[in-house]
Amino acid sequence: MNTTALLERFSLDGRVALITGASGGIGSALARGLAEAGAHVAISGRDVGKLHTLADEITRSNGTASCFPSDMGEPDAPARLAGDVLTHYKRVDILVNCVGMNRRMPIGEVTPAVYDTIMTTNLRSVFFLTQAIAPHIAANGGGKIINIGSLTSSLALQHVSIYGMSKSALAQLTKTMAVEWALANIQVNCLCPGFIATELTAPLWNDPTRNRWMLDRIPMKRAGQPADLVGMLLVLASSASDYITGQSIYVDGGFTVGSQW
């Protein structure tokens, strides 16, 4: 295989990619990566200002992006978002479910309202947005669905019980989606970030005790950056992963592998 043919396997030229949670640190980096690979990117998130800033940045870099503000914590948001994007683009080839939120607290302090807010945003919205989009991906001959998981998709961490429940359920949902839509030529995988340095995780990294705990357990001895996730995203979003489905892939500097003595 020559170099040009090899690179074409990773190209997203002409494909439409919808990504939720794009106003966050990880989501915005993933949106940039999709655009750089040639996709027309539909970016969705709660922060309208950040969405427009991101779209302008992508446009200045010769990419294309359109903004679809949406709060996925609202029960009817998935249907509205799917309808808006399909009306605008007429198709979706790649869906990246990056939306997510967390509130750290002991199990004993979790209220029904907190439980419902996290589960609605992190799991219910993913289920119903994907349910709405998948038939259109299938109708166009297939495509890719990438769910953004977490270390807590497989590991328990203190004070993140509901978040962990939602992300472990997302990993299992990924497997079921992969099985149900395999014959529609839709590959579904779960990309699980490790400890990534973003605005939202800054309190963790700025806490000397937690900083030391994380670095002691990451074999590579550094925080992950949002850009570290882009390479694997492009593998999973492109034809390079046509025979990979139902997998949870960790981009975590080796955290889930183990630690040095």
CA 80, 81, 86, 87 dihedral sign is positive
Q: 193-240 pLDDT, tens per residue?
A: 999 998 888 888 999 999 998 999 999 999 999 999 999 999 999 999
- For residues 53 and 56, give the distance between their C-alpha atoms in angstroms, rounded to a whole number: 5
Q: What is the reported pLDDT for 143?
A: 98
* pLDDT at 1 exceeding the cut of 70: no
Q: Which of 247, 124, 234, 236 is nearest to 178 (CA)?
A: 247
Give the total residue count for the chain: 261
Does 2 fall in a domain?
A: no
Domain assignment present for residue 221? The answer is no
Cβ atoms of residues 59 and 35 within 8 Å: no
- Domain contains 258: no
The answer to whether residue 170 scores a pLDDT higher than 70 is yes
Cβ neighbours of residue 240 closer than 8 Å, sequence gap 6 or more? 9, 10, 234
Model confidence at 137: pLDDT above 90: yes
**Structural domain tally of the chain?**
1
More confident residue, 191 or 205: 191
243 included as an active-site residue: no
Catalytic residue among 89, 115, 163, 243: 163
Report if residue 7 sits inside a domain: no
Side-chain half-sphere CA neighbours of 97 within 13 A: 34
Has residue 100 got a pLDDT over 70?
A: yes
Q: What integer pLDDT is reported at residue 239 of this predicted model?
A: 96
Q: Is residue 260 part of a domain?
A: no
Sole residue written with tokens 């219910």:
124
Predicted local confidence at residue 9, as pLDDT = 86
Looking at residue 6, what is its pLDDT? 67
Local confidence band at 259 (pLDDT 50, 70, 90 cut-offs): confident
Model-level pTM greater than 0.85?
Answer: yes
CATH number for the domain including 164? 3.40.50.720
Which among 108, 122, 107, 209 is positioned nearest to 158, based on CA atoms?
Answer: 107
Identify the domain containing residue 160 by its residue range: 13-197+227-251
Q: Give per-residue pLDDT as tens, 40-58.
A: 999 999 999 999 999 999 9
In a domain, 257, yes or no: no
Angle between helices 161-180 and 125-139 (to 10 degrees): 20
